[in-house]
A and B are shown apart, each in its own frame.
Chain A
Amino acid sequence: MNKVKNSASKMMQPLLAIVVGLIVGAIAMVLAGESVLNTYHEMWKGAFGNFYFFTSTLERSIPIILAGLGVAFAFRAGFFNLGAEGQLVLGAVTTAIVVVYLPFTGVIAIIIAIFSGMVIAGLWSFFAGWMEQRFQINLLISTLLLNYIAVLFAGYLVSEPFRDTSSAGGVPQSVMINDAVKLPALFEGTNLHMGFIFAVVATIILAFIIKRTTFGYEVRMLGQNRFFAQYGGINRKKVMFTSMLISGMLAGLGGGVEVLGMHYRFIEGALTTPQFAWTGLMAALLANSNPIGTAVMAIFLAALDTGSLGVERNTDVPNAISDIIQAVLIIFISARFTFTFLKLKKKEGKKHGKSI
Chain B
Amino acid sequence: MLLELTGITKKYGDFFANKKIDFSLEENEIHAIVGENGAGKTTLMRMLYGMETPTEGSISVRGIKHKINNPNEAIKLGIGMVHQHFMLFPSFTIAENIVFHHEPKKGILYNRKKAEEEVAILAKKYGMNIDPSQLISDAPVGVQQRVEILKVLYQGADIIILDEPTAVLTPLEVKDLLISLRNLSKQGKSIILITHKLNEVMQVTDRVTVLRDGQVTGSLKTKETDTGHLSKLMVGRELAKKEKTEVKVGASILSIEHLNIIENSSKKKLLEDINFQVKAGEIVGIAGVSGNGQSELIAAITGLLQVNEGSIHLADIDITNLSVRQIREAGLAHIPEDRYLWGSAKTASVEDNLMMTEYRKKAFQKNGILHTNVIRKFAKETINKFSIKTTSQEESAQNLSGGNLQKLIAAREIQQNTPFLLAAEPTRGVDIGAMEFIHEQLLMKRNNGDGVLLISSELSEILSIADRVLVMFEGKIVGEFTQADVSDEKISLLMAGGKHEQG
Chain A residues with a Cβ under 8 A of chain B? 2-3, 6, 212-215, 217, 220-221, 224-225, 227-235, 351-356
B304–A233 CB distance below 8 A: no
Is B370's CB within 8 Å of the partner chain A?
A: yes
B348–A353 CB distance below 8 A: no
Further contacts, 6 of them, CB under 8 A, given A6-B394, A356-B402: A217-B355, A221-B352, A228-B344, A352-B83, A355-B41, A355-B194
Contact flags B161-190 to A (C-beta < 8 A → 1, else 0): 001100100000000000000000000000
Question: 23 interchain pairs (CB within 8 A)?
Answer: A2-B394, A6-B394, A212-B369, A214-B359, A215-B368, A217-B370, A220-B352, A221-B352, A221-B356, A225-B344, A225-B345, A228-B342, A228-B343, A228-B344, A229-B345, A231-B304, A233-B328, A352-B83, A352-B84, A353-B42, A353-B163, A355-B84, A356-B167
- Chain A residue at minimum C-beta to C-beta distance from B370: A212
Given contacts A230-B304, A352-B85, A353-B83, is CB(A224)–CB(B345) below 8 Å?
yes
- Chain B residue at minimum C-beta to C-beta distance from A225: B345
A214 / chain B contacts, CB cutoff of 8 Å:
359-360, 365, 368-370
Roughly how many angstroms separate A306 CA and B37 CA in the complex, as a whole number? 56
B342–A231 CB distance below 8 A: yes
Q: Which secondary structure characterizes the binding site on chain A?
A: helix
Roughly how many angstroms separate A355 CA and B39 CA in the complex, as a whole number? 10
Given contacts A215-B368, A356-B402, is CB(A230)–CB(B344) below 8 Å?
no
Interface residues in B356-390 by Cβ distance below 8 A to A read 356-357, 359-360, 365, 368-370, 372
A356–B429 CB distance below 8 A: yes
A2 / chain B contacts, CB cutoff of 8 Å:
391-392, 394-395
B429 / chain A contacts, CB cutoff of 8 Å:
356
B372 / chain A contacts, CB cutoff of 8 Å:
212
B37 / chain A contacts, CB cutoff of 8 Å:
356
Given contacts A212-B370, A214-B368, is CB(A221)–CB(B345) below 8 Å?
yes
- Chain A residue at minimum C-beta to C-beta distance from B35: A355
- Chain A residue at minimum C-beta to C-beta distance from B334: A231
- Contact residue among A6, A231, A352 (Cβ-Cβ distance under 8 Å from B343): A231
A110: min CB distance to chain B, Å:
29
Is B302's CB within 8 Å of the partner chain A?
A: yes
A3 / chain B contacts, CB cutoff of 8 Å:
392, 394
- Chain B residue at minimum C-beta to C-beta distance from A218: B359
Roughly how many angstroms separate A233 CA and B345 CA in the complex, as a whole number? 14
- Chain B residue at minimum C-beta to C-beta distance from A217: B359
Among all A-B residue pairs, the 8 with the closest Cβ atoms: A233-B325, A224-B345, A225-B345, A232-B356, A233-B324, A356-B429, A355-B42, A231-B342
A356–B84 CB distance below 8 A: yes
B84 / chain A contacts, CB cutoff of 8 Å:
352, 354-356
Is B20's CB within 8 Å of the partner chain A?
A: no
Roughly how many angstroms separate A213 CA and B372 CA in the complex, as a whole number? 9
A212 / chain B contacts, CB cutoff of 8 Å:
369-370, 372
Given contacts A213-B370, A232-B357, A353-B83, is CB(A224)–CB(B347) below 8 Å?
yes
Q: Which secondary structure characterizes the binding site on chain B?
A: loop
Is B46's CB within 8 Å of the partner chain A?
A: yes
Is B87's CB within 8 Å of the partner chain A?
A: yes
Is B346's CB within 8 Å of the partner chain A?
A: yes
A235–B392 CB distance below 8 A: no
- Chain A residue at minimum C-beta to C-beta distance from B396: A6
- Chain A residue at minimum C-beta to C-beta distance from B364: A214
- Chain A residue at minimum C-beta to C-beta distance from B327: A233
A225 / chain B contacts, CB cutoff of 8 Å:
341, 344-348
Is B479's CB within 8 Å of the partner chain A?
A: no
Is B51's CB within 8 Å of the partner chain A?
A: yes
B41 / chain A contacts, CB cutoff of 8 Å:
355
Roughly how many angstroms separate A217 CA and B365 CA in the complex, as a whole number? 11
Roughly how many angstroms separate A351 CA and B42 CA in the complex, as a whole number? 11
Roughly how many angstroms separate A3 CA and B83 CA in the complex, as a whole number? 37
B43: min CB distance to chain A, Å:
10
Given contacts A217-B352, A228-B356, is CB(A353)–CB(B344) below 8 Å?
no
B42 / chain A contacts, CB cutoff of 8 Å:
353-355
A356–B164 CB distance below 8 A: yes
A156: min CB distance to chain B, Å:
41
A221 / chain B contacts, CB cutoff of 8 Å:
345, 348, 352, 356
A227 / chain B contacts, CB cutoff of 8 Å:
341-342
B83 / chain A contacts, CB cutoff of 8 Å:
352-353
Is B196's CB within 8 Å of the partner chain A?
A: yes
Is B80's CB within 8 Å of the partner chain A?
A: no
B85 / chain A contacts, CB cutoff of 8 Å:
351-352
Residue of B45, B51, B167, B360 with most chain A CB atoms under a 10 A cut-off: B360
Roughly how many angstroms separate A19 CA and B87 CA in the complex, as a whole number? 43
- Chain A residue at minimum C-beta to C-beta distance from B399: A2
B377: min CB distance to chain A, Å:
16
B328: min CB distance to chain A, Å:
5
- Chain B residue at minimum C-beta to C-beta distance from A348: B85
Interface residues in B21-77 by Cβ distance below 8 A to A read 37, 41-42, 45-46, 51
Roughly how many angstroms separate A38 CA and B388 CA in the complex, as a whole number? 56
A220 / chain B contacts, CB cutoff of 8 Å:
348, 352
Is B336's CB within 8 Å of the partner chain A?
A: yes
A224 / chain B contacts, CB cutoff of 8 Å:
345-348
Roughly how many angstroms separate A228 CA and B304 CA in the complex, as a whole number? 11
Is B417's CB within 8 Å of the partner chain A?
A: no
A37: min CB distance to chain B, Å:
40
- Contact residue among A6, A213, A234, A355 (Cβ-Cβ distance under 8 Å from B164): A355
B45 / chain A contacts, CB cutoff of 8 Å:
355
Roughly how many angstroms separate A356 CA and B346 CA in the complex, as a whole number? 19
B323 / chain A contacts, CB cutoff of 8 Å:
233, 235
B357 / chain A contacts, CB cutoff of 8 Å:
232
